[in-house]
Structure formats: C-alpha cells, structure tokens
A and B are shown apart, each in its own frame.
Chain A
Amino acid sequence: MYKILAKKELAPKIKFLEVHAPEIAEKACPGQFIMLMVGETGERVPLTLAGYDVKKGTISFAFNEVGKTTKLLGCLNEGDCISSITGPLGKPSETRNFGRVLCIGGGVMIAPMLLQAKALAEAGNSLTTVIGARTKDLLFFEEEMKCLSSEFHVATDDGSKGFTGLDFLKEILEKEKFDRCIAYGPVVMMKNVSEMTKPHGIPTIVTLTPIMIDGMGMCGVCRVTVGGKLKFGCVDGPEFDGHNVNFDELVNRQRMFLPEERLSSFIWEIQGRCACGGKQA
C-alpha cells in the first residue's frame, strides 16, 4: 500500500499527489512513469512522474480527472492509500547539456515538464519554456517554470491569457536557434510542435501516453509506429523522436475504448460510490 502524504489541486480537476514510495523514489528519473491501480477491481493506468524526493521517500504525479480511475484517485485524501504502484517504468529522458532547449508543456503534462525542465536547467542548458492550456484557469506552475527559464511564454487555446494557440512559436523558431525541443502534452499539441520544428531540423522529443495495461512490455496495446517501425510506448519509450511518430495512428488507438470508458465513468457517477459522492474533494 502506498500512502498519500500530500494532495494539491493545481487547477480545476487537475490534482497533484505526493505518495510514500521510497524504493521507486530512489530509482526514478525524469521522463519515467508509474502504473497505478486504485483498488482491487481497478484498471492499471500509466501516469508520468512529476517529481521524486529520495530523502522523503516520495514520488509525485499530476492527473486530470477525466475517467473513472482518475476521478476515484481524485477522491483520495492525505493519509489514504493507493493499492498498487509499479515503477519507475520506461526509459529515462536524456538530460545532459544540449545548449539551448525549447520546453513546451501542455495541460496536465505541465507537471512532468517542470521536472524535466529542472533537470535540464541543472545540466546547464539555457531554457525557453512555454506552458499552455485550453483556458487561463487551467494553467499552473507559472512561477516555478519562469524561474528556470531565460525566456518564458504562456499560451491558451481561447486566448484568455498569453498567446492564442501555439502559432507564435513559428516566429520564435525563425528568429532563434535551438539545439533541442521537448514537448509534453496532448497528442495534437505534440504533433503541431513536431511539424513546426521539423523544417528547422531541431531534434524534438515527445512523450507518448498510449493506452497501457501492464506497462512492462507484455500486452502490446501501447504499440506505436515510429519511423515506420513497431515500438512499445512502455519499454521503448515513453519518449520518442517527434518527427518520426505516427500521431494519427496514436490518436486512433487512444480512442479505442472511449465508449467503455464513458460508460464506466457514467455508472460510477450515478452510483456516487466514493465517500465524497463523486464530487471533487
């Protein structure tokens, strides 16, 4: 059992948990993920690590309450336990000194992006960071990200704060030179960023979050096509070269069980099965 030591709400429906898991904390690296199960009848879901503290023996992660599992997870409070966590999984990110790095974090993935950015800054890179969300209320970690960066931008889909959309990046890419770009966020965002950096020949790393069950290479549901080759998101990734990923196929595979996921979430909502009645904690 893994005890929750701290819980924060980063934005509406975006929660952040710090959990006691000393052995995972000791081995964790930026870019890796965990597989988590809430209760014995639960599903196994992957969540990208947003932090770890070897001294405290904790790991942390953020999630968006979209399906039954994440809603259940959002109902847990400090002192509650998560039944199963396996990790750290996947290949760690490369965090050496590349020179100038463009870091883009979108939505809930701003949280693991911050961990990544910290490691890159520590390695001596100069960072230009961008955080983005659908609307301004869903932004978080602005100050934390800003203080790591030599240049910092905010973007929202609806233009409620900062730039509208990511098109402004085109201009930045024309003017400035980058040695590497890292994009963590929704598939559409990572696809757009990859398309923008490709003409400039900037190596672009994206992190993929396909459906996973075991997270250790066994089931193959996380298979993705990268450079025409079959890869497993869990063991070959989760980070891949964004210029070679078949994003359209990934979107299609992510949506495979959408009707079932909605049904599961709906039933849970009407049954109001958790202590707080299915509402936010």
Chain B
Amino acid sequence: MAESKPRPKIKKEAESMPKQKPEERRKNFNEVATGYTEEQAKSEASRCLQCPKPQCVSGCPVEICIPDFIRLFKEEKYEEAIAKIKEKNSLPAICGRVCPQEEQCQKSCILGKIGEPVSIGRLERWLADWERDRGKTKIPEKPAPTGKKVAIVGAGPAGLTVAADLAKLGHKVVIYEALHVPGGVLVYGIPEFRLPKRIVQAEADYIQKLGAELNLGYLVGRVYTIPELLRQKGFDAVFIGTGAGLPAFLGVPGENLGGIYSSNEFLIRVNLMKAYAFPIYDTPIRIGKHVVVIGGGNVAMDSARSALRLGAEEVCIVYRRSREEMPARREEIENAEEEGIICKFLANPIRFFGDEKGWVKAMECVCMELGPPDESGRRRPVPVKGSEFIMDTDTVIVAVGRTPNPIIQSTTEGLAVTKWGTIVTDENGKTNIEGVYAGGDIVTGEATVISAMGAGKKAAKTIHEYLTKK
C-alpha cells in the first residue's frame, strides 16, 4: 500500500538493558544492569518522537523536561542534556536506576501504545554515568546568598532534593543525618547490586558542592530538637525527611529466635555496614542453607537476592497473596526468579520453631485464599482451615513493611501526626507549625524514592516562597 508521505520507520522494541548473566550475578554484589553502551543509548534516544504535547513529563514526579533532554541527546550534546535533567533532578544517576519508570514517565509514552515506550530512565542513567565517569560534573554558578538558613533533617532522597533545590536558590542549607553516611534508604535499604553506593556518595558530594553543609551521626530530636533549631540555632525553616525506617514484625510465636532478621536489620548489615565483606568489615551476617523471606514487595526481593549472593543454597519468598497482588516491581520479580529464587504464594507463617541453641529450624505456615477486596483494593487473604504445613528453614527475613520513625514527632511539641505516626502536611509539604515542612515516607508512609523526591521538590518551592516573604 502506497502512502502519501513517507514516514520514518519506528522501532517498536526498546534497546534491551545489558545485564550480568543470572548464573554469574547470583554470586556477586556487582551491579546487575551494566548500562547501555553509547551506541545503544543513541539508538534508544532516536526512538523518541518528540511529541508536541509530551505525555511523559506529566508522569514524572519532578517534572523533568524529558523531550528536551532526549533532543539534546540525539544531537549528541550530552553535557547540555544532563544539565537539562539536573535543572529538575539533582540525583539522576540514582533515579535512572531505581525509579519505577514503567509506572511514571514511560507509562504515558505514546510509543507504548504500539510497542515499548522509550526507555527514559536508562537514558537518564547513561547521561548521569557519562558525566560522573568523565569526572567533570558541572557545578552551577552559586547565586548570591539570601541570608536565610534552612535545616534539613535526614539525608535521604527527600532531604537531599530539598537541600539541592534550596542551595541552588542561595539559601544556607544544613543537613543533619543520623547515620554515619548520607543517603538514607539509598544506602541502608537498596542493595549494592541495584544501586552502587559510590553513586549515592557521588550524588551526595554534588549536593555539598552546591553549597549544602552535611552533619553526620547527628540525631535531631535527641541532640537539638526542631523547636531548638528554629529558636536557638537561628534556622528560618526546617524540613523533616526522616523516612519510614522502623521494621514491622509478624507478631507470631518464635519470632525472636536466632536467625530471624527484620528486612531492615538484614539489609542494614549487608548494605550500610557491608557485612558481605566480613571480616574486612567488622559487621557480621550469618546466612544458612535454606532462607525464607516473608513478604512480596521490593524489600523482599532485595533481601532474597542479597541472601542468594551471600551463599544461601535455596531462597524462598513466602507471600500471603498471589503473584498478581505482589507490590514489587515486575522487573525485580523477574530478576529474582531468573536468579533462581522460588516464590511460594498464598501462605503465611504462624509460628517458628527453634533448635536447642535457640536458632530457628522450621516455620509453620497456613495456606491462604483470596477473599473480597480490602481497603487497599487488593483481595484480602484469608487462612484456609486445616491447611497448616511445616517448612524447614535456618534463616528467616521478615519483610512485611516499615513504619515511620517516631523520634521527631515525639520531640516536637504540637506537631500534627496521623494515627499511623506519619506527619500531617498540606499538598505543598507544610506542617501545622510555622516554618516546619515535611515530605517523603515520613508523610506518606513507605513509598518510592522518586515520590519522596517529588515531595522534596514541592516542599523546597514552598519553603523558598516562605523565606522570600519572611
């Protein structure tokens, strides 16, 4: 069939991401996805249609001008392309790796209707890595100081975003981080093989180069409280980004036996304290032969894949609903299964049994079936009577959620808090106390890195407006 106008042929499939082979990567902590080559990145960028009314931008919580950066990419103006991203996002190497793009920018890409959407995240990652690897990270010119001082509580994705945005506007920014390294969940939660820690360090360094001051090992609430920072330490505003860092437990008998870790403990040992390199690093971890991970989210996947890399013979994920309800990213479930992790659906632990040394040796589960939907919209799992069974295990990782950290709430008089312990803010991140703002998991409960950054972006804007009027 002849067409009136010749149209360029569109490649329906995206360039696939080069990865370490499953049989290799399950033995090391190196990054699984090794990143596009320049040729692959160019080829992928060429797929972008440069829509006059781009849908992708509205899907991005930090509103990166996606078509613009891809256009610059196509023109091989890499420096300008990464600068375009950094206008909106100060952590591109991180977001390019851990954002759920399939749910955000790429979800509304028009190419998705005829084939695969443009791999926006992979291009973002390529540019960020290109800039960092060349060691020529550009620092924007510093604006004139405004004379205003802002304290940021927590150096996770939300806090770092606020810090970057406010520093770029000329405000004096001081970050207080309770742990001994910056990054929050990026360093204690997400494993090295998904997000190398040197990348987090590089992005945190970049934010310091923008002018932000970083204080480590400083627990606001136990040292100075928020009211003290405002009244005695001369801060004009405070942003709280303390995250959802407290582990939830199952509350079943035997849960305190040896060999049963919360996913937080397990991942903190492995990621933050680098227990995979014990005894070069002093923090130990013990992995048995038969590891069971309870839960179906990204944290469960991260825990299971880490356990495998630490030498477990068999790793089984036990989830109380079915595959369809799993909250983990599809990509992560696929990665886990490729590596040989087994998923057992519709089962829930009801007790743990220990050996004579107080170490876990088995777990009793009950089978579940799906009833009518609950308030989350997912079908509620209901125990099936008489379906109990025993699983042998010597290491259990409980990954059933994390809750907000209560230290700030309990030391900031009058701060409005929900019954779940999260901080109440308006849509712009403003709390009920003047000059106090919050964002990220401490407001929403456990969510994603990019949504925390989106909240940080909004809060930074609100804080800037407040400081300008003040």
Where the two chains meet, the residues of A that have a C-beta atom closer than 8 Å to any C-beta of B are 23-24, 26-27, 37, 41-44, 68-69, 83-89, 213-214, 216-221, 223-225, 230, 235, 249, 252-253, 255-257, 260-261, 263-264, 267
Contacts and interface: CB of A to CB of B under 8 A. Distances in A.
Nearest to B269: A213
B224 A23 contact: yes
B371 to A, nearest CB: 28
A68 B282 contact: yes
Contacts of B251: 230
Contacts, number: 117
Given A27-B223, A43-B283, A257-B284, A217 B407 contact: yes
A38 B256 CA distance: 29
Contacts of B140: none
A218 B264 contact: yes
Given A86-B219, A256-B258, A263-B279, A219 B284 contact: no
A156 B218 CA distance: 40
A27 B218 CA distance: 12
B219 A217 contact: no
Given A23-B224, A86-B178, A264-B278, A218 B268 contact: yes
A219 B268 contact: yes
B246 A218 contact: yes
A218 B188 contact: yes
Contacts of B246: 217-218, 220
B178 A216 contact: yes
Contact of B219 (A43, A69, A216, A224): A216
B282 A223 contact: no
Given A217-B246, A221-B261, 4 more contacts: A23-B218, A84-B180, A213-B269, A230-B251
Contacts of A260: 278-279, 284, 286
Interface string B266-309: 00110011100011111110100000000000000000000000
Contact of A216 (B216, B281, B407): B407
Contacts of A42: 282
Contact of B256 (A37, A69, A253, A263): A253
B431 interface: no
A253 B273 contact: no
Given A27-B222, A217-B246, A220-B264, A84 B358 contact: no
Shortest Cβ-Cβ A-B pairs, 3 listed:
A260-B284, A252-B358, A219-B265
B211 interface: no
30 contacts: A23-B223, A24-B223, A27-B224, A43-B282, A44-B180, A44-B273, A68-B282, A83-B180, A84-B217, A86-B219, A89-B219, A213-B265, A213-B268, A213-B269, A214-B179, A216-B405, A217-B246, A217-B405, A219-B262, A219-B268, A220-B265, A223-B256, A224-B256, A252-B258, A252-B358, A255-B358, A257-B284, A260-B278, A260-B284, A263-B279
Nearest to A34: B217
B247 interface: yes
A214 B268 contact: yes
A224 B256 CA distance: 8
Name the residue among B178, B188, B249 with the largest chain A CB count within 10 angstroms: B178
A231 to B, nearest CB: 11
Contacts of B286: 256-257, 260
B406 interface: yes
Contacts of A43: 273, 281-283
B245 interface: yes
**Interface residue tally on B, bucketed by range:** 35 or more
Name the residue among B255, B265, B406 with the largest chain A CB count within 10 angstroms: B265
Name the residue among B179, B259, B274, B286 with the largest chain A CB count within 10 angstroms: B179
Given A217-B406, A225-B256, A88 B222 contact: yes
A261 B286 CA distance: 11
Contacts of A213: 265, 268-269, 272-273, 283
Contacts of B265: 213, 219-221
Contact of A69 (B255, B257, B268, B282): B282
B209 to A, nearest CB: 21
Interface string B239-257: 0000001110101000111
B255 to A, nearest CB: 8
Contact of A218 (B247, B256, B257): B247
A181 B224 CA distance: 31
Contacts of A252: 257-258, 358
A264 B279 contact: yes
Contacts of A23: 218, 223-224
A217 B246 CA distance: 6
A221 B255 CA distance: 11
Nearest to A218: B245
Interface in B196-251: 216-219, 222-224, 245-247, 249, 251
Name the residue among A42, A218, A252, A267 with the largest chain B CB count within 10 angstroms: A218
A265 B273 CA distance: 17
A55 B325 CA distance: 58
A110 to B, nearest CB: 25
A86 B405 contact: no
A252 B217 CA distance: 30
A87 B222 contact: yes
Given A217-B245, A218-B245, A253 B268 contact: no
Interface string B8-41: 0000000000000000000000000000000000
A86 B177 CA distance: 10
